[in-house]
Amino acid sequence: MTRFGTKGTLGAAALLLASTSLASAGGLDRTGLSIAPLFEDGSYAEINLGYVMPDITGFLGAPSGDVASDFLTYSLAYKQDLSDNLSFAFIFEEAFGAAVDYTNASAAYPLIVGLGGNSFEAQLSGTSLSGILRYEFNDRFSVHGGLRYVTMSGEINFDDVPQTLTFEGDSDLGYLIGVAYEIPDIALRASLTYYSETEHNHPITNSLPFDVGLGPLAATTGAYVLPQSVNLDFQTGIAEGTLLLASVRWAEWTETAINTQSALGIIDYDTDVWTWSAGIARRLNEDLALVGRVTFEEANGFLQSNLDPKDGRLGLSLAAIYDIGDIRLTGGINYTHLGDATTTTINAPFTDNHAVGFGLRVGYSF
């Protein structure tokens, strides 16, 4: 069985942790929808955990406090060959999310004053379950495609009332399709994958039996979409035991506008998001390899949502990959500088912010 750790080449495992952003990305992206497990040799299963600690603070006459909540990300994947040319993979991941916490804000902070003195916290999260088939025409060309089942849910808690708005889970079925080109002798692979948009519309429940001016004005948020996107992933050997990694992701976040049905307003985006990434994987011996990767998103300069007060990012990920028999352990750390932003409604500045993330992945080849 050929797998990561064999002499002379570095396989898809070098891409796995590094291609997953451990810090807050543009829009609601949290994983980037990688399909790397689909390219593993033979039968393969993995579990991935990441913990991210953002630090985002603003000041406008009074401090906002740290408005960024820590969060856990996770994914599971299973890949199996059906024949010499056909294989499939299942990938389950917490693909989307956002979370803010204004409970530490000064009572004089303008956003809190505008809510009648109410501090609040809000979160939105989404999971994606993908079933993907891959057909290899030969050792160079292959195509892949499948379905994605995306479920979104959310909650806003106003602490001083108290009141909770629950955005109940809503799901939609989308699809993905793509093509890949490989030259195995030099560990080269380029894959292009398109992901369709999905549509969502949440029923809302209000913890209060009456509306105190903060609650929903309608029964649902109104329809919104999670955007279509395209991933281009590339790797190639550049020297004995050394692999060059690169990727580009485009997501059409300008098509997303989520009405919170509360005084918090609408979550929307002024520009689409381009995420660029490049790195190097280097084998140190038969069992151990290191990966370094830089990720960049350009700031757009527009006003940002009070639920996501950052603009652009620059991150560095470092990871170690260690093989123990058929088990592959990957551990890494990410530091991301989050770009300065000014928020809508109150024009509050947020500067000098960052996020630190840790990741652990366990893969098993059989």
What CATH number corresponds to the domain at position 285?
A: 2.40.160.60
275 located within any domain: yes
From first to last of its 366 residues, the chain has per-residue pLDDT tens of 333 334 334 444 444 554 445 556 778 998 889 999 999 999 999 999 999 999 999 999 999 999 998 988 899 999 999 999 999 999 999 999 988 999 999 999 998 988 888 899 999 999 999 999 999 999 999 999 999 999 999 999 988 888 888 999 999 999 999 999 999 999 999 999 999 999 999 988 888 766 655 555 556 778 999 999 999 999 999 998 899 999 999 999 999 999 888 767 788 888 999 999 999 999 999 999 999 999 999 999 888 888 889 999 999 999 999 999 999 999 999 999 999 999 988 999 999 999 999 999 999 999
Total Cβ atoms within 10 A of residue 360: 15
Q: Is residue 204 part of a domain?
A: yes
Torsion, Cα 38 40 45 51, to 10 degrees, reads -80
Distance CA 340, CA 59 (A): 12
Quick check: bond before 227 cis, omega within 30? no
In this structure, are residues 328 and 321 in contact, taking their beta carbons and an 8 Å threshold? yes
d(CA 303, CA 250): 21
Count the Cβ atoms, other than its own, within 10 Å of residue 356: 16
Specify which residues 72 forms β-bridges with. 51
The token pair at 70 is 């820590």
Sequence letter at residue 72: L
Residue 171, by phi and psi: left (phi above 0), alpha (psi -120 to 50) or beta? beta
Residues 261 and 274: their CA atoms lie apart, in Å, by 29
Q: Cα 72 to chain center, whole Å?
A: 11
For residue 5, being part of any structural domain is answered with no
* Structural domain contains residue 191: yes
Spatial separation of the C-alpha atoms in residues 70 and 51, rounded to whole Å: 7
What is the rounded end-to-end Cα distance, in angstroms, of the chain?
9
Q: Residue 206, Cα to own-chain centre: how many angstroms?
A: 29
* Three-state DSSP state, 253: helix
> Dihedrals φ, ψ of 110, to 5°?
-55, -40
Residue 51 lies in a domain: yes
Measured CA to CA, the distance from residue 349 to residue 60 in angstroms comes to 7
In one-letter notation, the amino acid at residue 244 is: L
Domain containing 86 equals 13-365
Do the domain assignments include residue 90? yes
Residue 122 tokens read as 């809000």
| 8 assigned to some structural domain | no
Prediction pTM value: 0.92
Query: How many other C-beta atoms lie within 10 A of the C-beta of residue 332?
Result: 24
Number of domains in the chain: 1
Sole residue written with tokens 């809503």: 170
- The verdict on residue 62 lying in a domain is yes
Q: From 303, 236, 227, 295, select the one nearest 20 (Cα to Cα).
A: 295
Distance from C-alpha of 330 to C-alpha of 323, rounded to nearest angstrom:
9
